[in-house]
């Protein structure tokens, strides 16, 4: 059974550019959540998608956006990159929204974004 | 507001010892608690998930307990091995928050050969 797949694994971008990251959840999982991980802040919630609809959004500026496709694959986009956006971006898939009672989250290996 | 705390932030123990990692949360209204392992630069690997109605879960040398009344969870690792060296994070599923799952900052564990 394939796990959560995130592409690309590494990215180097210049300030002001935009970037798109991709996440393919486990087959059958319809919920995808995105997290930003930095040494100082730890894991911070970006947003969650379920059935192509954004259910929840964390406290990030509008430069961070996402979407989910009918096959449950999700993309997140960051526009006008800043140095502080350098982080490990993780996505997590779950069978039902927000993890729910019986199911936890399965995480991908992440995309390491470096902004120079 | 739910806060999840893991103390200590880092821990070094000799190989073969049993050890306990701690996780505390401020609001007992959680629906589950999950322990993850993270190797440097990698994603999170789920270790154990405890539902709110359960007291503990076991997987191999790992045992996680949950005490909602005291706001605590522990991860017990028996007979530690160098391969156990990693950062361990706990995450509480919180029904009262939009983001639903609150992570601790983790405990960085180093097993000395």
Question: pLDDT band at residue A40, thresholds of 50, 70 and 90?
Answer: confident
Residue B36 sits at the chain A interface (C-beta within 8 Å): yes
> What mean pLDDT is reported for chain A?
91
What pLDDT shows up at residue A96? 73
Of residues A20 and B40, the one with the higher pLDDT is A20
Determine contact, residues A52/A71, Cβ cutoff 8 Å.
no
Residue B28 sits at the chain A interface (C-beta within 8 Å): no
Residue the block writes with tokens 């970006």: A46
Question: pLDDT band at residue A55, thresholds of 50, 70 and 90?
Answer: confident
What pLDDT shows up at residue A1? 61
Q: Tell me, what DSSP letter sits at residue B84?
A: G
Q: How confident is the model over A60-106, as pLDDT tens digits? A: 999 999 999 999 999 999 999 999 999 999 999 988 765 555 567 88
Record: contact B31-A100, CB cut-off 8 A? yes
What pLDDT shows up at residue A97? 67
What is the bridge-based pairing of β-strands A10-13 and B107-112?
unpaired
Within 8 A by CB and 6+ apart from B70, the residues are none
What pLDDT shows up at residue B79? 97
Q: What is the percentage of chain A residues whose pLDDT exceeds 90? A: 72
Record: contact A106-B46, CB cut-off 8 A? yes
Chain A positions with Cβ closer than 8 Å to B: 4, 6, 33, 42-43, 45, 48, 56-58, 88, 90, 92, 98-110, 112
What pLDDT shows up at residue B90? 95
Record: contact B51-A101, CB cut-off 8 A? yes
Residues of chain B with confidence (pLDDT) below 70: 95-100
What HEC string does B6-73 produce? CCCCEEEEECCCCEEEEEEECCCCEEEEEEEEECCCCCEEEEEEEECCCCEEEECCEEEEEECCCCEE
Q: How confident is the model over B16-34, as pLDDT tens digits? A: 999 999 999 998 888 889 9
Average pLDDT over residues A110-114: 96
Residue A83 DSSP SS3: helix
What pLDDT shows up at residue B73? 97
Residue A77 DSSP SS3: strand
What HEC string does A14-51 produce? CCCCCEEEEEECCCCCCEEEEEEEECCCEEEEEEEEEC
Whether the pLDDT of residue A22 is over 90: the answer is yes
d(CA B60, CA B77): 9
């Amino acid at each position: 059974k394939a796990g959560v797949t995130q592409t690309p694994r590494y990215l180097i971008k210049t300030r002001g550019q935009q970037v798109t990251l991709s996440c393919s959840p486990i087959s059958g999982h319809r919920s995808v959540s995105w997290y930003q991980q930095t040494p100082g802040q730890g894991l911070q919630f970006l947003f969650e998608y379920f059935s192509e609809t954004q259910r929840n959004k964390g406290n990030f500026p509008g430069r961070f956006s996402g979407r989910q496709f009918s096959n449950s694959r999700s993309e997140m986009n960051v526009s006008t990159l800043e140095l502080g956006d350098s982080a490990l971006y993780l996505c997590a898939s779950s069978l039902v929204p927000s993890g729910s009672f019986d199911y936890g989250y399965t995480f991908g290996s992440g995309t390491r974004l470096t902004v120079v | 507001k739910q806060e999840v705390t893991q103390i200590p932030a880092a821990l070094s123990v000799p190989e073969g010892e049993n050890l306990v990692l701690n996780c505390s949360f401020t609001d007992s209204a959680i629906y589950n608690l999950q322990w993850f392992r993270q190797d440097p630069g990698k994603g999170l690997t789920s270790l154990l998930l405890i539902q709110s109605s359960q007291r503990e879960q076991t997987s191999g040398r790992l045992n996680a307990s949950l005490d909602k009344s005291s706001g605590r969870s522990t991860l017990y690792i028996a007979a530690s091995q160098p391969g156990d060296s990693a950062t361990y994070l706990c995450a509480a599923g919180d029904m009262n928050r939009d983001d639903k799952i609150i992570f601790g900052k983790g405990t960085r564990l180093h097993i000395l050969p």
